[in-house]
Every structure is written in structure tokens, then in C-alpha cells.
Amino acid sequence: MADEPRISELHKRLQQLEDELAERRNKLSQAGTLQPHHHREAEEISARAGAMRTKLSSAKETGWDSMKHEIEADWASLMGSFERWVRHVDRDYGPGE
């Protein structure tokens, strides 16, 4: 399938996002500094990442062309939310926390 490389790349990038989110959230939780609003935002991002994973699996079955624009818009929104969360966490706790 010609769309397989694009879908596979998005799966890989999604996994990286989920890994970084989990790592940052765990680090803050272990330090006892994760604020409730940051935790809620992280949970929302995680849920959206799960929905994205489901859409990517559907795209494999139904074809990339039928879902391309929806997936790309969802990806841009998810990345924007994640980057905003990282900026807020960095602002509140310092870079790399």
C-alpha cells in the first residue's frame, strides 16, 4: 500500500509524543510537583493520542486518501496541545521537567 509509509511515520511520531508525555508526567509525579491542571491536560492529550492511533489504524483499512485531511488536522491540533503543555510545564517547573 502506497500510504503505508506515511501512516507508519505518523505511528512512530505518535509513539514518540506519548513516550515524552509519559516521561515528563512521571518525572513530575515522582517529584510530587504535578499540579492537577497539568495532570488533566496530560490526560486529555493522552486520550487524543489514543484516538489518533485508532484513526491511523482505520486509515490503514479504509485508505489514507479518505482520511488524510482529518488525520493531518487532528495531528496538528494534537501537536499544538502537546507543545503548549510542555511550554506551561517548563514555565512552571523549569525546562526539561
In one-letter notation, the amino acid at residue 86 is V
Angle of helix 4-31 relative to helix 64-93, nearest 10 degrees?
Answer: 20
For the cut 60, the answer to whether the pLDDT of residue 83 exceeds it is: yes
Indicate the angle between helix axes 64-93 and 36-62, nearest 10 degrees: 160
Q: Does 94 have pLDDT greater than 80? A: no
* Average pLDDT, integer, range 59-85: 92
Q: What is the pLDDT of residue 79?
A: 96
For position 96, what pLDDT does the model report?
A: 61
Least confident of 9-13, 51-55, 70-74, 92-96: 92-96
Q: Which amino acid is at 81?
A: S
- Residues 12-67 pLDDT 10s: 999 999 999 999 999 888 888 888 899 999 999 999 999 999 999 998 888 888 88
